[in-house]
């Protein structure tokens, strides 16, 4: 199936894939050919595309995924995992921490979850918050 990954800065991937593992806000999911049409929001995490030649991993900080005949991901920010340096990751965490610190009422829980997901993503790729 066709896969597209786009961030505001650029298109990061456009290729035929076997499956896409998506860090959905309501839980991780795997999209494969003939998946039921779905739209989901993303949480910070690792998006993995599976192809006949192996896998490619991308760090995403949020956005949306649309699953239909193919999969299109519109990410707030996305980078190949290999390009996520400690400096880049620390900037992402600082922004999430600031949003969490400034959040009030109903938004505070969502902001704290965003920060926790960001820290967990760093743990997964070996970077410290």
For the chain, what are the domain ranges?
2-81, 84-125
Model confidence, pTM:
0.88
Residue-level pLDDT at 72: 97
Q: For residue range 37-57, list pLDDT tens digits in order.
A: 999 999 999 999 999 989 999
Tokens of 102: 């400034």
Q: Which CATH superfamily is domain 2-81 in?
A: F0F1 ATP synthase delta/epsilon subunit, N-terminal (2.60.15.10)
CA distance 126 to 68: 33
HSE value, Cβ hemisphere, 13 Å, CA-based, for 67: 20
Q: Is the pLDDT of residue 106 over 80?
A: no
Taking alpha carbons only, the member of 44, 72, 70 closest to residue 58 is 44
> What gap in Å lies between CA 114 and CA 79, rounded to an integer?
18
Pick from 19, 79, 67: which is nearest to 41 by CA? Answer: 67
């Amino acid at each position: 199936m066709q896969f597209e990954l786009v961030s505001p800065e650029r298109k990061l991937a456009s290729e035929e894939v076997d499956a896409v593992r998506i860090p959905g806000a309501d839980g991780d999911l795997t999209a494969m050919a003939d998946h039921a049409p779905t739209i989901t929001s993303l949480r910070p995490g690792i998006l993995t595309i599976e192809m006949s030649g192996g896998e490619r991993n991308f760090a995403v900080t949020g956005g949306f995924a649309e699953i239909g005949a193919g999969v299109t991901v519109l990410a707030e920010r996305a980078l190949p995992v290999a390009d996520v340096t400690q400096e880049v990751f620390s900037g992402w965490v600082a922004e999430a921490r600031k949003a969490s610190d400034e959040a009030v009422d109903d938004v505070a829980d969502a902001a704290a979850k965003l920060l926790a997901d960001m820290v967990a993503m760093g743990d997964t790729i070996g970077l410290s918050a």
